Amino acid sequence: MDTCQGQDGPDELNAPPSAGRPVSLARRALQMAPQLALVAGILGYLIHTGKLDLGALGGLRHRWIWIVYAILCVLPQYFLCAFRYRLLLGALQLPGTLGQAFSWSMIGSFFDLAMPLSNGGDLVKAYYVARHAGRGRRGLAVLSVVLDRVVGLLALFVFAWLVCLFAGRQVDDNPQLLRLSRALLFVCAGSLVAFCVLVSPPLERSALRRRLLHWAPYHAKLEALYVAFAGLRRQWVLLLGMLGLSLIVQILGCAAILFLAKGLPFTNIHTGAPAELELVPTLVVLPLAVFLNTFGVAGGFGMGEAAFQVLFWQLLNVDGGANLALAFHCLFALLRLLGIPFVVFYRHKEHAPPGRIAAEVAETLAEEGSGG
């Protein structure tokens, strides 16, 4: 049996994508209408109030070298994220080569543009990984995608806190950044403590935990997922490696944004004079702004512009954050199109229309839960 087929039969995998209830383009557009309306409202407000200057973005074409530098920083991120995910697959004893992990990551990146949320591509990625893992391991495959995303988001906060830690005096002299550094320390330390508690042997052996979990639907499946998750406590070196890769990804992402900033104007909110972004405060703020992109649409549009504008205004005392966010989103949207060949030529084309993916993931997990 071909390894790409997992434990499913060839007829199931090679069934036409249109099998099942089709989702029309009109219905899909209607489903995304509220999100698109929110994006349009936010961008319209920023343009109306002068916070978003499309003319400033046009000026980037005369400073194209900064766009090239930004692209050179973004491209390695795809491979690093795929390698990080491959490490996690190995820790969870799930099948998948580095090449497959790269394909799944590129497919998920492309569908970030088509799904209602910024990281909606993770749902598509989970579908591919679950189909490849086969029956009995699909729930674990979906969990792997969730854990991979959590590690990536946690790295944003760790990176921002490390900048505060090594900046020293520059943060201590800025009351706003000092408060922010303490909040970042709380998030990072709290996440570490929470993980240690969740994977601890006493909790894994706890009879009370098992009784509480027994009340949940598909409790046998959830218990198996928890045991697999708790087993990660034996993989500290691998987890630290994943976090290290995530930090490199965040460094490259922030470098790309800083290169784009070189081609855009910023003004001091107090004097109205042209202003330069200070490196240390900007490196603290950027990860937080990127995190808030999670609540945007198609890679962060809308919410991302608002987040950049507010954070730059409040913490950096500069105007122009929305321009930088829009340039960042447009560049990443174009690069996400690199995922198209992986969607079209992925082996056996075992993909379904986006409108069916969530339902199919839920159905397969329910089947395993009832069977367990």
* First-to-final CA distance of the chain: 25
Are 152 and 82 in contact by the 8 Å Cβ rule? The answer is no
Close Cβ partners of 152 (under 8 Å, ≥ 6 residues apart):
81, 84, 246, 249
Average pLDDT estimate for 35-60 = 73
CA distances from 132 to 10, 83, 365 (A): 12, 18, 14
What is the sign, positive or negative, of the torsion defined by CA atoms of 248, 254, 257, 258? negative
pLDDT given for residue 254 in this prediction: 94
pTM of the model: 0.81
Residue 309 burial (10 A CB sphere; 0-12, 13-18, 19+): buried
Chain segment 116-137, per-residue pLDDT in tens: 666 678 888 999 999 998 888 8
Q: Which of 198, 164, 170, 166 is nearest to 184 (CA)?
A: 164
DSSP-derived 3-state class of residue 267: strand
Split at pLDDT 50, 70, 90, the class of 253 is very high
CA distances from 253 to 78, 79, 239, 265 (A): 11, 13, 21, 20
Split at pLDDT 50, 70, 90, the class of 74 is very high
Chain segment 232-251, per-residue pLDDT in tens: 999 899 999 999 999 999 99
